[in-house]
């Protein structure tokens, strides 16, 4: 049978968007470190940055991928076999029962569902319990490779990393928003506040816990951080938490 050459376009595009988002945030961070942004610039950034929603985009891409994967399997099954006298593709078309396609569709959907459920598009949070359930489902699928799961495995994207990467990218955007608000406060008052409450505006939340982003004022700036994939407050550890230091 002809080897599948699928391309999960939606998730690839979303991954590219995550990379571009990272480049935009690096530019914002560099400007903050150099003190290059005026109050007007900071106001414009505070209006524009919340429109960057890499987490929502990736969650939507996974939902599109669910439909695209099923559609590909159906199209592959219905594709006419070559008219040569003999080919492995033609042989495969003759011996491949339709129930195999249905079995793969079920395997594909059941494996993808917990990953989709883990990404809350409304609150922009990653449910790590659902993500872990998805990892177990993926391991189960790959451990029983056969005619009823092979196609499903071929059309699935890299599910282990998509959710965490999107969550980390969204955390970076959230930190950039708060960092701009802090810098605007400093320009107006001459110092960073003791707490984020002093900013008096609605701020993005922690992508993992759904609670407030952690903030500490330091001698020469501040530290912002969200808890990482271990769901533990590691006090702004650059390796365990998702941190932004000024």
Q: Model-level pTM?
A: 0.82
What tokens were used for 148?
A: 């009823």
Q: What is the pLDDT of residue 105?
A: 83
pLDDT band at 151 (very low <50, low <70, confident <90, very high): confident
pLDDT in tens, 108-143: 888 989 999 999 988 999 999 999 999 999 998 888
Q: Residue 61 — φ and ψ, nearest 5°?
A: -65, -40
Query: To 10 degrees, what angle do helices 159-189 and 54-78 make?
Result: 160
For residues 1 and 120, which has the higher predicted lDDT (pLDDT)? 120
CA distance 215 to 61: 32
CB count in 10 Å sphere of residue 85: 6
For residues 26 and 63, which has the higher predicted lDDT (pLDDT)? 26
Contact predicate 128/118, CB 8 Å: yes
Of 58-72, 135-149, 211-225, the range with the highest mean pLDDT is 211-225
Query: Buried b / exposed e across 60-79, counting CB within 10 Å, b at 16+?
Result: bbbebbbebbbebbeebbee
Q: What is the pLDDT of residue 239?
A: 92
Q: What is the pLDDT of residue 61?
A: 86
pLDDT in tens, 42-56: 999 999 999 999 999
């Amino acid at each position: 049978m002809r080897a599948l050459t699928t391309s999960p376009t939606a998730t690839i595009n979303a991954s590219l968007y995550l990379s571009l988002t990272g480049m935009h945030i690096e530019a914002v961070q560099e400007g903050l470190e150099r003190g290059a942004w005026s109050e007007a610039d900071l106001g414009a950034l505070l209006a524009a940055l919340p429109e960057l929603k890499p987490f929502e985009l990736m969650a939507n891409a996974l939902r599109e991928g669910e439909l695209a994967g099923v559609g590909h399997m159906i199209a592959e099954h219905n594709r006419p076999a070559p008219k040569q006298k003999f080919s492995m593709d033609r042989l495969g078309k003759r011996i491949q029962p339709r129930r195999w396609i249905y079995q793969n569709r079920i395997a594909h959907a059941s494996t993808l569902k917990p990953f989709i459920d883990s990404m809350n598009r409304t609150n922009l949070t990653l449910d790590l319990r659902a993500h872990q359930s998805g990892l177990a489902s993926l391991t189960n699928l790959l451990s029983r490779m056969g005619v009823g799961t092979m196609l499903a495995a071929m059309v699935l994207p890299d599910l282990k990393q998509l959710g965490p990467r999107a969550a980390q990218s969204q955390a970076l955007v959230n930190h950039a928003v708060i960092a701009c608000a802090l810098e605007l406060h400093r320009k107006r008052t001459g110092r960073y506040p003791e707490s984020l409450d002093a900013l008096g505006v609605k701020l993005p939340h922690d992508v993992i816990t759904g609670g407030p982003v952690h903030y500490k004022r330091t001698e020469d700036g501040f530290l912002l951080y969200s808890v990482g994939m271990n769901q533990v407050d590691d006090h702004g550890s650059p390796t365990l938490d998702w941190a932004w230091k000024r």
